[in-house]
Amino acid sequence: MSHIATRTPSPLRRFWMRSQGTLLPVITFLLVLLLWEICVKVFAIPEFLLPAPSAIWLATTEQAGLVWGHTLATLRTVVLGYGLSILISLPLAFALTSSRIVANAVYPLLILTQSIPKVALAPILVIALGANELPRVIITFLVAFFPLVVAVTTGLLSVPGDLIELGRSYRATRLQQMVQIRMPYAIPFIFSGLKTAVALAVVGAVVGEFVTSDRGLGYLIQTSTAFFRMPLAFGAMLVLSLMGIVLFQIVAVAEKLLFPWSSQQQAD
């Protein structure tokens, strides 16, 4: 049998072995779409219950300009809220962990904030901040911020004692300890937090749009369903999912490019 194992595989087979990781789920997805289409046609499911993929596609592409405009509006809210959560949580986590006592005092509270249902704040914030873009950005920010700050703080606090002692043995200053040891050690934690946060930011933006908005994919879903334009509502929902996936992948690729050792470590 061993001569079979050593034979070089054909180019087609090699292509398959290399790309089956991505090809298989794509094929599965297409099959699901096909099955969905067939079921809707065969069982004559009414459109307001479940539109066929072809109907969704048509409705969405017919209104491509409109959908695109709403997509940009949602994207803007996501980017602003997510950006704000990064800008605030990173320095905050560094500050919290630079002192043991502060860390011990605040870290348990941070963990508790995880269980606050941030989206329930949306209507309250609209009253407080007015029916403009601000409450949507704040909701997005809140939803992304807490998991992110917890992830970064956890990373900074879980540096092994050996590494801290190593730094001490060369008389590292507090700043050197933070910049040379704690921060790089926390990179895989930070990125896992960034990935969770970006997915949540999309959810936050849509919830904000549900509560108050005249633009965005959340608004589009609401107005479409109000007029029973289910294919368009489904289309908006799928565009939203796609946005979440693309943003997640951007963060994942950034990690791979900037910190190759970090994504390797997680794979182990």
Partner 1 sequence: MTAITIDKATKVFSSRDGEEVVALSDVSLDIGENEFISLVGPSGCGKSTLLRLIGGLLPLNAGRILIDGTEVKGPQVKTGFVFQKATLLEWKTILENVLFPLKIMGTLDAKSKDKARELLALAGLDGFENKYPAELSGGMQQRAGICRALMHDPDILLMDEPFGALDALTREDMSIELLRIWREQPKTIVFVTHSIAEAVLLSDRVVVMSPRPGEVKQILDIPLPRPRSFAVQKDARFQEKVDEIRHLITGK
Q: In this structure, are residues 149 and 107 in contact, taking their beta carbons and an 8 Å threshold?
A: no
Q: Are 37 and 53 in contact (CB under 8 A)?
A: yes
Site string for partner 1, 50-89 (x = CB under 8 A): ----------------------------------------
> What are the angstrom distances between the C-alpha of 250 and each of 188, 196, 245, 259?
15, 13, 9, 14
Q: Is residue 171 part of the contact set for partner 1 (CB under 8 A)?
A: yes
Task: State yes or no: residue 180 binds partner 1 (CB under 8 A).
Answer: yes
- CA 59 – CA 191 distance, rounded (Å): 37
Beta carbons within 8 Å of 49's beta carbon, 6+ residues apart: 230
Where does residue 118 rank: exposed (0-12), middle (13-18), buried (19+ CB within 10 A)?
Answer: buried
- Which of these ranges, 12-20, 74-82, 163-171, 195-203, lies near partner 1 under the rule CB under 8 A? 163-171
Q: Given the complex with partner 1, which of 25 and 160 has the nearer CB atom?
A: 160
155 is a site residue for partner 1 (CB under 8 A): no
Q: What angle do CA 64, 53, 206 make, to 5 degrees?
A: 55
Residue 146's closest CA among 114, 108, 102?
114
Q: Kindly tell me which residue out of 43, 227, 228, 261 binds partner 1, with binding defined by CB under 8 A.
A: 261
Cα torsion 145, 146, 150, 156: sign: positive
Cα(239)–Cα(231) distance, integer angstroms? 12
Cβ at position 203, least distance to partner 1 in Å:
32
- State how far the Cα of 177 lies from the Cα of 96, in Å rounded to an integer: 14
Nearest distance in Å: CB 183, partner 1: 10
Nearest distance from C-beta of residue 187 to partner 1, angstroms: 7
Does position 170 interact with partner 1 (CB under 8 A)? The reply is: yes
- Least distance CB 162 / partner 1 (angstroms): 4
> With CB under 8 A as the contact rule, which of the stretches 19-27, 89-97, 101-109, 181-189 interacts with partner 1?
181-189
Residue closer to partner 1, measured from CB, 188 or 218: 188
CA 170 to chain CA centroid, Å, is 40
Q: Which of 165, 214, 228, 257 binds partner 1 (CB under 8 A)?
A: 165
| Among 52, 90, 119, 187, contact with partner 1 (rule: CB under 8 A) | 187
Residue 87 or 179: the one with the smaller Cβ distance to partner 1 is: 179
Residues 230, 156: contact at Cβ < 8 Å?
no
Residue from 184, 215, 223, 238 in contact with partner 1 (CB under 8 A) = 184
Q: Which residues bind partner 1 (CB under 8 A)?
A: 160, 162-163, 165-172, 176, 180-181, 184-185, 187, 259, 261-262, 264-265, 268
